Amino acid sequence: MLPLGNRCFQLLFFRISTFLTLSQKHMDNLLKPPESVCGMRVLDRKLFEKTLEVPVITLKDIKVSAVLPVLKKYLLKVEKLKPIQHVNPEEILIYLSPMLVQQWESIPEDVRQRLHSEHIKDENFKKILYTFKYENFTAEEILRAILPPDKEGLSSFTKVGHIVHLNLREHLLPYKNVIAEILLDKVPGCRTVVNKTNIIDNTYRNFTMDILIGDPDMLTTVKENNCKFKFDFSKVYWNSRLCTEHERIVNKFQEGDVLFDVFAGVGPFAVPAGKKKCTVFANDLNPESFKWLKYNFEANKVDQTYYKLFNRDGHDFIKNDIKLLLPKFLECEKNVYITMNLPAMALEFLNSFVGLFSHEILPEYSKPPLVFVYCFAKGEDCMEITKNKIKDTVAYDLSDKIVDVFRVRTVSSLKEMMRVTVRLDRDILIADRKRKLEDHFNDIQNKKVILDHSDGKEQEKVK
């Protein structure tokens, strides 16, 4: 048993620690929405009202420009509240953050001395009651306050023109209407909020969606790479999160280069390339994408001499149109690029390049075409997984043809979107296609996963 003195000390220490913890928690929650809104499923904006004592400094006959650099760090920064307010022509209030300043002495001494030099003293400091309302909180702050704290919240959304696009997890579906209303209020330019209701697995890469709130008009316009793209979001594929990737690739193109875009969509690669006076051959199977692809070339005033459009299956486009057009550009030593942005299955289309030409038809060339092909990698080592997917999918050993493997973005936990840059050397294009496909098929058939009972681990063995 501890001596009485030690027990008293421990009890005092415990009480002080508890007090400091509760005080810190109170301070952390000070400028957040009231805890009572947690679990709200019907938006009630009045319940967000919260009255606090806010420190202010009063200025009379003192220029704001003289003290603002000194107090900038301590200003109250919340939505829809200007920290510097003119009460009348002679009086100005500077609102300070109650998280940083509780009293005049909370301001560091060196700062107070600088304020003194501008004739600002403790009598200029006071506290006033201010009622924070729904409009004073950000969408992120409101959603964190409402949604269950013990589960993953709304981590992100995408904005496509006037449309905010969600992909809600199942546990958030009961809150979908309140989420939609908050985003409609808070996201600038938002007129419609939709939720994706199935995965993109159909031929045309679009998905069904639930319009949660707002204007049902799905016709939208976005700006990217100095171009405007118009389309019906419910009928074509568009992902605003790929804006940076589109820019990376387009920046590689120079005037006079050649681009074959196998899955062009509404033109995020093809249209900017055409504006740079590249020769562009853009293809998409979806008739709706093809319609807006044509519209976007015209709307961005790309000269028709720089592009030709196709509405075909990707394999057909490669085996017929690329096969017909590519040799003359190789012979002219043009820089040729091929984009294949269909991550779910684009690797399969690389097989269409294997043995595409006979030896006689294909000219000698010193500038091999570069293919940018996209895929998904699920697992921890996305680089190795991607390389293995290529080995398992493509009927040719591309190991020494891979120029680069690049992680484009994180799709979800342990799922990455990858870009593989492949150099189309002559030996690929004139390979014995029949033999390569047969060898590839036999390799796959011969592989079996055998359970090693001695250590319980799966090992892959070949007959």
Annotated binding-site residues for S-adenosyl-L-methionine read 246, 284-285, 313-314, 341
First to last CA, the chain: 71
Positive or negative torsion for Cα 311, 313, 318, 319: negative
Q: Can you tell me the distance from the alpha carbon of 215 to that of 233, in angstroms, rounded to the nearest whole number?
A: 13
The four Cα atoms 329, 333, 335, 336 give a dihedral, to 10 degrees, of: 30
Is residue 142 a contact partner of residue 182, using CB atoms and an 8 Å limit? yes
**Alpha carbon 17 to chain centroid, angstroms:** 42
The four Cα atoms 363, 252, 317, 343 give a dihedral, to 10 degrees, of: 130
Which residues carry a binding-site annotation? 246, 284-285, 313-314, 341
Ramachandran quadrant class, 82 (left: phi over 0; alpha: psi -120 to 50; beta: rest): beta
Which of 449, 448, 436, 362 is closest to 398 using CA atoms? 436
Cβ neighbours of 81 (radius 10 Å)? 15
Residue 107, token pair as written in the block: 């301001």
Residue 335, token pair as written in the block: 């820089």
Report helix, strand or coil for 13: helix
Strands 192-196 and 163-166: parallel
Which of 430, 428, 260, 270 is closest to 335 using CA atoms? 260
Residue 41, token pair as written in the block: 């499923």
